[in-house]
Amino acid sequence: MALEFNDTIAGIATAPGEAGVSVIRISGEDSIAIADKLFKAGNQKTTDRLENRSLTYGWITIGNQTLDEVLLCVMRGPYSFTAEDVVEIHCHGGSYITSTILNHILNNGARLAGPGEFTQRAFLNGRIDLTRAEATNDIIRAQSDLGLNMVVNQLKGKLYAKISTIKEDISWILALVNAGIDFPEEDTVFSNRDEILEKMDNISKELQRLIRSAETGIKIREGYKIVLAGKPNVGKSKILNGLLEESRSIVNQQPGTTRDTIEESCSILGIPVSLIDTAGIHETADEIEKEGIERAFSAIKKADLILWVIDMNNPSFEIKLAEIMDISHIPVLLVLNKKDLCETCREPIPEQWRENKRIRISALDKGDIDRLRKSIFEFISGKKGRLVEDTMLTNLRQKTSAENAQISLEKSKDSLLAEVGDELLAIDLNQTLIALGEIVGETTPDDMLNKIFSEFCIGK
């Protein structure tokens, strides 16, 4: 670990703005001494004598001036979030009072913490690995039950444990290979060949499963993009509002009201989604509308699921998106709307639409919107009906490293089968270990680590 740190940092851990309480966090060697310069405990004790990890009532006082009535908590390292001495001050939640106290802390020798710097210290001090560090940030950003569920597994160290087990298995193989290099006459690799191959196959299967899990993991973290599209006036915005249970999108009888795309995040039966409402697609001379339609097309291209809405009372099936755009890989759920006006579609559903799943609803009916939610859930969760596994990769960084590990592992298997010699085999196995180490942060380059932590919240 080349990153150096030995100073004391401070930052506001709570969100800016007015609130009941704000928390200011200080971490590092001098945090208790700095806090003592500002804090007068109600029990008259100096800060270094306060009970560990309990709240003490008192006042923030600068010279003769009393600034705020607060609670203060001392958490001595290594049993703290950063594994350093940490002090948290719970003051009143006004921006002025919070930043004033923070300024006094900085004037007394602390440095303002950068984004994610507390978590970075927890990581560098070996209290958590990189997957758990990432999980602490993801838990803040989680938008749904599933997202939370997935990230809590990671925070508990399940992914870390899985990667560690795989690394142990590879280290076991590597130890045999190294023994073969040191004592060539014993030929340890050849005599354990079958067992090594079996282990390699098992590791490979597990890596493949993890790599596959990344697709779901990333979607759960970022949200599935669901685009509402169709002709004007078919009820797209009404459906969006129904799914959101609020009137974000303007619903209007005049066609062409939604001229731009509108994106809203929500959770559908626990699945995090971004719902994107688009302008109705049709021939138009109106320049603004044309632009809106262009934007609708670009949203459609990025969708994970398209809800193609048809007005059953006034149906039109002339547009088959997959035929005009290269999006045949994106699933389309046909939403036949306005069931209250017309029980069945006034026109038969043409052949080329029949392979799509479909649902008949009235956007005015809450029960129908619930059924639509269920359909969307089933569409996304597929046959498995369960998206979250105990151990999943949840971001592209983890996935890329797992793919590199898989490539090196395959190479080492080829080397073993081709009997190219223990030295080459050892190189491939070491590469596999390095790639796996990147997932948990043991071999991750410093610039990558800095980038990861710089994307964290301030004060985290």
CB of 236 to Mg ion, least distance (A): 5
Q: Is the peptide bond between 78 and the residue preceding it cis, with omega within 30 degrees of 0?
A: yes
**Does the footprint of ligand GDP cover residue 363 (CB under 6 A)?**
yes
Q: Please report how close the Cβ of residue 245 comes to Mg ion at its closest, in angstroms.
A: 17
* 237 binds Mg ion per the rule CB under 5 A: yes
Residues 264-283 that bind ligand GDP (CB under 6 A): 280
274 binds Mg ion (CB under 5 A): no
How many residues bind ligand GDP (CB under 6 A)? The answer is: 20
* Sign of the torsion formed by the C-alpha atoms of 64, 67, 73 and 75: negative
Using CB under 6 A, pick the residue from 6, 44, 64, 253 that binds ligand GDP: 253
Select from 120, 178, 258, 401 the one that contacts Mg ion (CB under 5 A). Answer: 258
- Euclidean distance between CA atoms 94 and 62, whole angstroms: 18
Nearer to Mg ion, 255 or 270 (CB): 255
Query: Pick from ligand GDP, Mg ion, none: which does 99 bind, CB < 5 to 8 A by kind?
Result: none
Q: Which is closer to Mg ion, CB of 229 or CB of 333?
A: 229
Site string for ligand GDP, 21-60 (x = CB under 6 A): ----------------------------------------
Q: What pairs with residue 111 in β-bridges?
A: 9
Site for ligand GDP in 340-359 (CB under 6 A): 340-341
Question: Pick from 27, 144, 233, 398: which binds ligand GDP (CB under 6 A)?
Answer: 233
Residue 238 in contact with ligand GDP, rule: CB under 6 A:
yes
216 vs 258 by CB, closer to Mg ion:
258
Task: Tell me which residue of 179, 215, 146 sits closest to 388, measured CA to CA.
Answer: 146
Site residues (vs Mg ion, CB under 5 A): 236-237, 258
Site residues (vs ligand GDP, CB under 6 A): 232-238, 251-253, 257-258, 280, 337-338, 340-341, 362-364
